[in-house]
Structure 1
């Protein structure tokens, strides 16, 4: 059969009455979602890209200033701190989070009452970030639970929240908050693997590490890739916990604890000088968006494998 014949047949299928009927049926259902996506995401994104080349306070008409906002970002210590902290969250915190989530997932699969334990681990993810920040501060402050526990063993109090440790405390808290969520995602991917794969592997004399490497990991690889993309997207949105935990009396945290979301907030309505600098904030948001898109594309390329049909 020639390629021309295949092309003709494919054309006939695409232009068949059934295909046209499907398009007429699906179109009205897809249109509302496409309209909302365009209005709520595409249009604001495009306008933010335009605003990043302007001087705009959010009220008056934007004034074109070219690439000056982007030039400013390259010399702005606050943006450098925010971008570097976001990378620390994404990679440093992310690697530890996924290792810990995998460890919990493998342990829970062999335990009785795993649903209760899994729900308990998942609980911080559904609690308000402000409430979690208050609890974390209560745990780590000078008279908090952790220092009281140390005092019971005759150990002196530790200043867990001193400036050079504060962002590290935030990283630990974010791992604690998100572990249950990613345990649930990974558990869903592993639970779909048929048990007879493991039974046959045990009969073949394999150990736990070999079963994990040759069965669990490859057969849940697509779920791992999806979880990594979700983590990448979620990282740039981490905001309220840091603001509630590190901020004091309504003030912003110091810039060495900012993330990209904190930078955008600080440049718009957060009280930095000059206030309401939407153009500069949009430039920071555009740079962050481009970085996220690059990371997601790389992740999809790295994690793209042939899907195993179970």
Structure 2
């Protein structure tokens, strides 16, 4: 009677309850726990924690990739602190995180409002998601074709009478264009995820809100957003982690085979890569490791802070 009372409908354990300590099911669960957990735990130690420990040790040394390491203590971190290029990369990373993130989510919420009751919304969602299937290298090449002085954009502007077209690819404008491309490529991805959560909201909530006189905007803030808050929180964390890893777009957009991108466009990921593999400037694996650890700490702090900021009481449908 005790065991049966702890089972939810369908024979599964009720949430928050466990089998009695001496029941056969509890003994089986304890017996198979470690055999199932150990392979995943070993994989995390080998492929995640061990590399982090090695990078932490490497960040305290000076090493070009060849020959012995030379211990220098915190000299690499001091060099990062005094390097204006690293400061620029941190600022650019925050710009992508905040500016691109805010605009992307505003557009994603607006598209959710528009598409929620649209006929053929699944097809439109697939079209919006399509840019996420394309490698960022293609975006960089395509943007170069569109925005070069003789490209399609300037040609179209010339046809409408604008002869003094902006210099889209000028060093001062490149990062703004990069952020615009990131917004375009990311909006559909997060719109698809948010709409998948919105699709799970029962229609009668919206019917009740309509009877109370709530319009689409009011329905979004009183029904859609609260009931899909968990999905929105996951999207915010995904964006926080992905914004720190923006790499290929900037590398190809502003660089060539013979030169690196303009330092005004660098992010922390570009800084780590070029510190380690830019042969003409000297390979500095210790400096790259220090920059990578700072980036990891940045992601960890932002993710934990965002999880705490977005924590809400669960709402059951």
Could you tell me which residue of structure 2 aligns to residue 245 of structure 1?
253
Following TM superposition, by how much is the alpha carbon of 1:272 offset from its aligned partner in structure 2, in angstroms? 5.6
* Whole-angstrom CA distance in 2 between matches of 1:215 and 1:204: 12
> After the TM superposition, which residues 120-135 of structure 1 pair with which residues of structure 2 at under 5 Å, given as runs?
120-135=127-142
Picking from 110, 113, 126, the partner of 1:119 is: 126
Picking from 239, 262, 272, the partner of 1:264 is: 272
Q: Rate the CA distance shift 1:147–1:73 in 2: closer, same or farther, 3 A.
A: same
1:87 and 2:63 correspond: no
Could you tell me which residue of structure 2 aligns to residue 169 of structure 1?
177
Contact 1:266 1:272 in 2 (8 A): no
> After the TM superposition, which residues 65-214 of structure 1 pair with which residues of structure 2 at under 5 Å, given as runs?
65-156=72-163, 157-214=165-222
Could you tell me which residue of structure 2 aligns to residue 282 of structure 1?
289
Following TM superposition, by how much is the alpha carbon of 1:82 offset from its aligned partner in structure 2, in angstroms? 0.8
**TM-score, normalised via structure 2 length:** 0.90
1:303 and 2:303 correspond: no
SS in structure 1 of the partner of residue 307 of structure 2: helix
> Deviations along 1:240-267, whole A, 9 cap, x unmatched?
1111111123421011110110000010
Return 5+ residue gaps in structure 1 as ranges.
Answer: 1-9
**TM-score, normalised via structure 1 length:** 0.92
SS in structure 2 of the partner of residue 143 of structure 1: coil
Q: Rate the CA distance shift 1:234–1:12 in 2: closer, same or farther, 3 A.
A: closer
Q: Rate the CA distance shift 1:110–1:55 in 2: closer, same or farther, 3 A.
A: same
Contact 1:267 1:280 in 2 (8 A): yes
* Whole-angstrom CA distance in 2 between matches of 1:87 and 1:77: 15
CA RMSD of aligned residues (A): 1.8
* Whole-angstrom CA distance in 1 between matches of 2:107 and 2:74: 42
Contact 2:198 2:224 in 1 (8 A): yes
Following TM superposition, by how much is the alpha carbon of 1:101 offset from its aligned partner in structure 2, in angstroms? 1.0
SS in structure 1 of the partner of residue 64 of structure 2: coil
1:52 and 2:59 correspond: yes
Greater than 4 Å deviation, 4+ residue runs: 10-17
> After the TM superposition, which residues 6-85 of structure 1 pair with which residues of structure 2 at under 5 Å, given as runs?
13=20, 17-85=24-92
What is the number of residues matched between the two proteins? 300
* Whole-angstrom CA distance in 2 between matches of 1:58 and 1:45: 18
